[in-house]
Structure 1
Amino acid sequence: MRSMLSWGAWYIYMPAFLAFILLAVGYLFFGLSNFVNSPATANILSTAGGWVLILDGLVASYLAWALAVNPMVGDKPPLWPHPYRTR
């Protein structure tokens, strides 16, 4: 499952793609936790969603830092541009 923003971010940088995918997965966990009948399962899903969104924040912070620093230091922090392979 890909959100519309992650589909476009796939062609830009890998951290941008990961940030949008992790955001969609975290919200999916939170949404599913509202529809399950078991309180224990809802607690597990909401906790997992919280951890996924913390990871998403770290990826988004790295992306913002790398985009700000790369013009000054000459593309040293890797952003893995599309097509994600070395030539």
Structure 2
Amino acid sequence: MKHFIMAALLIIALAAAEPSWAGPENRSLNPGGACCAPPRFQIFEAPKPYGGLIMVDTQTGQSWQRIKINTPAGIRVRWLKVPMIEDLPQGQVILWD
């Protein structure tokens, strides 16, 4: 009898929890949750023609490429600003291989 009651309670608990699994996620209603805005600067691996890393400012859209410079004092790592393409004709898209 004890096993039957425990199994019934388990089924009831799972049935009650099922709608919460299938419901939409709404983070704005949960002020105590661990939700935060995405980071401002995100770093990605650059496509083949560039290589290395690209850092993107998600608020302004500016981007920088990480470059390594060999100097007499040793190798230095710098971030070089990548110019934005603003004069691309309408209907054309940049394809990164």
TM > 0.5 fold call: no
Task: Answer with 1 or 2: which has the greater Rg.
Answer: 2
Identify the structure with bigger relative contact order (alpha carbons < 8 Å, sequence gap 6+).
Answer: 1
Normalized per residue, the structure richer in strand is: 2
